[in-house]
A and B are shown apart, each in its own frame.
Chain A
Amino acid sequence: MSIILSILLISMSLASDIYTGGKITLKYEVVKEKDYTDFSNLGLKVTETSKTFAKMTPALISASASLLLLPVNVFASSADKTFGNVHSAVMNMFDAGVVLVIIFAGAAWGLGHRSKAMEILIGVCAGYVLARHAVDIRDFLKNI
């Protein structure tokens, strides 16, 4: 996939090169005060290979950028599914556990511990409501 993409991009850049008549304009921005990259006195020459690399550079940059951007989208889509699955599984467990806790609270009330039973019921209700709204909190934080 990436090889086909890079070949396509290289051919597109070469075709645009031919279409504009072979002229390539480069814009430089001088940032430093002193130019340390001036090696004109050292006898370096611009060869055909360096020209070819200069032509291929935009295609290589765009191909590598698309390759770097690809796994992020895959991760984002898979994280949604993972959280939904985990939340549904955990809420199934909570449904069973909350029933058991309410039975325990009823037994404690029947055996005389009224305030303890009400405390247990309040805690179970608060925890269950909080866990049930995890998806809403996550969606709110994603859309913020």
Chain B
Amino acid sequence: MKEQLLKLDAWIINNERAFLLDGVKKISTGVWNYFLEILPDLMGYGTLVAGGAIIIGSMVGRGGLMKPLGFFAGSLIVATVILGHN
């Protein structure tokens, strides 16, 4: 009886550990896949926002042309590399 209880104990612990690791892996993979799906839309909206920021900045006179262009070019490079390595 004691051997059976020890077996049951080890079975429960192993299954619980596998379940937890599997759950974390599933959740992180799902979040990353969702991010990959919405990344082109994010970059499209970011393009609109960068254009609007450049127009308004040149109109008001504060805030340069190069700062939004630099941020946008950096994020575009990151998105291209992330989506290109799939």
User: Number of B interface residues, CB 8 Å?
Assistant: 33
Complex contact B45–A86 (CB within 8 A): yes
Chain A residues within 8 Å of B, Cβ to Cβ: 32, 36-38, 41-42, 72, 75-76, 79, 82-83, 86-87, 90, 94, 97-98, 101, 104, 116, 119-120, 122-124, 126-135, 137-139, 141-142, 144
Interface of A is mostly: helix
Complex contact A131–B41 (CB within 8 A): no
Please give me the residue from chain B that is nearest to A93 by CB atom. B52
Taken together as a complex, chains A and B put the C-alpha atoms of A116 and B65 apart, in Å, by 14
Task: Give the shortest distance, in Å, between B5 (CB) and chain A (any CB).
Answer: 11
Chain B residues within 8 Å of A, Cβ to Cβ: 4, 7, 10-11, 14, 37-41, 43-45, 47-48, 50-55, 57-59, 61, 65, 69, 72, 76, 79-80, 83-84
Given the contacts A83-B44, A135-B44, A141-B83, A123 and B51 also touching, CB distance less than 8 Å: no
Please give me the residue from chain A that is nearest to B6 by CB atom. A36
Q: List chain A residues, Cβ under 8 A from B52.
A: 90, 94, 127, 131
Q: List chain B residues, Cβ under 8 A from A120.
A: 58-59
